[in-house]
């Protein structure tokens, strides 16, 4: 058999293409293409040749040749932040704004360790900073701080309610003098054997004890018993007395809408044939604080004469001339003033039902 002879060259292998560039340049091209695929950079118009010629192209303006054959491009100066992306203005940056002016930072010196830098990191560092919105935890923290500023003390609601009640009571006490009167009536006996009590005199005083009304009243029925020993009414007082219907109209005009103070006041209203709201009625014969001040049982009904002597140190209803309705009304108002604040607070918490 004939021997096959192969023309084999066992010399040195052919050198690699020098046009491919060094490893640093290939790494740069690979990362740039990665950024182009991800959309961070626009594609660069490449020349028809696959690789640029080394050391053949003239240097561009501002570029300096490196030892390894690459060109160093000077870093671009940072652009000043405009009003659109300024953080000082406080307005958020428009996310759709174009960022075509951004370019990856150039490579550093070849002999430095920082030369191998991630282009993606440089690109992200070049992006303008956007104001971040506060998180939920930060918002809650802010709300807590603001709530603490608005309510510095835990006991503030209690203090406010106490102050409100005090202001309410003080407001009531300020309004009472204008809408408060005291009344006292004197009766005579009419009907069978004079057992029916009929109005013969009515006196009304204001908060300061000034007389608002004091008239003798002529009953509609015949008077059987004048009861002078207690009422002080005599026959001559009925000569020019005001008829009952007229006097009743005048009296009710004064009492309507006012707080009326009296002692055993239900007898006076019965003689007037009138019903006054309980919420506007103050009966000094049924005020427990007044009895306590006089060292009397709270549920006992004490006479006006006894309370006046004990608390005001004054004698009333003395002698055979009978009672004075003006004097009795003034004494009633003075007794009420002694326990006015305490009694009104009690009524504010426990309003009477009509």
pLDDT digits (tens, 9 = 90+) for 192-225: 999 999 999 999 999 999 999 999 999 999 999 9
The β-bridge relationship of strands 180-190 and 259-262 is parallel
Distance separating alpha carbons of residues 12 and 309, to the nearest angstrom = 142
CATH classification of the domain holding 282: 3.30.420.10
- Tell whether the model's pLDDT for residue 131 goes beyond 80: no
Question: What token pair was written down for 82?
Answer: 């405009």
Does residue 309 lie in a domain region?
A: yes
Torsion of CA 131, 137, 138, 139, to 10 degrees: 100
Distance separating alpha carbons of residues 211 and 271, to the nearest angstrom = 20
Print burial letters for 115-132: b (CB count within 10 Å at least 16), e (below 16).
eeeebeeebeebeeeeee
- The residue whose two tokens read 């509609």 is 220
Distance separating alpha carbons of residues 272 and 25, to the nearest angstrom = 118
Give the pLDDT confidence score for residue 352 in this predicted structure: 87
Does residue 273 lie in a domain region?
A: yes
Give the pLDDT confidence score for residue 320 in this predicted structure: 73
Give the pLDDT confidence score for residue 38 in this predicted structure: 81
Outline where 133-283 has alpha helix (H): 136-150, 156-175, 228-231, 244-255, 265-272
Distance separating alpha carbons of residues 352 and 279, to the nearest angstrom = 6
- At residue 275, the 3 state secondary structure works out as coil
Distance separating alpha carbons of residues 25 and 69, to the nearest angstrom = 10
Does residue 84 lie in a domain region?
A: no
Give the pLDDT confidence score for residue 124 in this predicted structure: 55
Confidence of residue 149 (pLDDT cuts 50, 70, 90): very low
Residue 55, CA distances (Å) to 69, 71, 107, 190, 292 in order:
7, 10, 19, 142, 118
Does residue 59 lie in a domain region?
A: no
Residue 19, CA distances (Å) to 14, 22, 48, 110, 262 in order:
14, 9, 14, 20, 122
Does residue 42 lie in a domain region?
A: no
Confidence of residue 126 (pLDDT cuts 50, 70, 90): low
Residue 38, CA distances (Å) to 35, 41, 75 in order:
5, 8, 24
99 closest CA partner among 119, 121, 82: 82
Total number of domains in the chain = 1
This prediction has a pTM of: 0.53
Domain carrying residue 324: 180-349
Confidence of residue 64 (pLDDT cuts 50, 70, 90): low
223 closest CA partner among 193, 185, 268: 193
Does residue 339 lie in a domain region?
A: yes
Does residue 233 lie in a domain region?
A: yes
Does residue 114 lie in a domain region?
A: no
- At residue 183, the 3 state secondary structure works out as strand
Average pLDDT taken over every residue of the chain? 73
């Amino acid at each position: 058999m004939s021997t096959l002879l192969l023309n084999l060259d066992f010399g040195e292998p052919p050198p690699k293409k020098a046009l491919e560039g060094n490893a640093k340049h290939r790494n740069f091209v690979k990362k740039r293409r990665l950024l182009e695929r991800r959309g961070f950079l626009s594609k660069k118009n490449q020349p028809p040749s696959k690789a640029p010629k080394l050391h053949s192209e003239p240097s561009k303006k501002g570029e300096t040749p490196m030892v390894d054959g690459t060109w160093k491009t000077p870093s671009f100066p940072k652009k000043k932040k405009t009003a659109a992306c300024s953080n000082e203005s406080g307005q958020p940056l428009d996310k759709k704004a174009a960022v075509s002016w951004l370019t990856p930072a150039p490579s550093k010196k070849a002999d430095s360790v920082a030369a191998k830098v991630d282009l993606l990191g440089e690109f992200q560092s070049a992006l303008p900073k956007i104001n971040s919105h506060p998180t939920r935890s930060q918002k809650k923290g802010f709300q807590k701080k603001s709530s603490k500023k608005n309510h510095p003390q835990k006991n503030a609601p209690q203090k406010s309610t106490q102050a409100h009640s005090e202001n309410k009571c003080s407001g009531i006490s300020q309004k009472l003098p204008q809408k408060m009167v005291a009344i006292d009536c004197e009766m005579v006996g009419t009907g069978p054997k004079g057992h029916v009590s009929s109005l013969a005199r009515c006196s009304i005083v204001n908060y300061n004890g000034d007389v608002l009304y004091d008239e003798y009243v002529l009953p509609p029925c015949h008077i059987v018993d004048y009861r002078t020993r207690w009422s002080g009414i005599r026959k001559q007082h009925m000569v020019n007395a005001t008829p009952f219907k007229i006097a009743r109209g005048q009296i009710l005009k004064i009492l309507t809408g006012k707080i009326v103070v009296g002692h055993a006041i239900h007898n006076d209203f019965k003689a007037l044939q009138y019903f006054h709201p309980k919420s506007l009625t103050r009966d000094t014969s049924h005020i427990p604080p007044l009895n306590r001040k006089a060292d009397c049982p709270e549920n006992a009904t004490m006479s006006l004469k006894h309370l006046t002597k004990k608390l005001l140190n004054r004698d009333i209803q003395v002698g055979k001339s009978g009672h004075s309705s003006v004097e009795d009304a003034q004494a009633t108002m003075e007794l009420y003033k002694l326990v006015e604040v305490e009694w009104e607070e009690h009524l504010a918490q426990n309003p009477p039902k009509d």
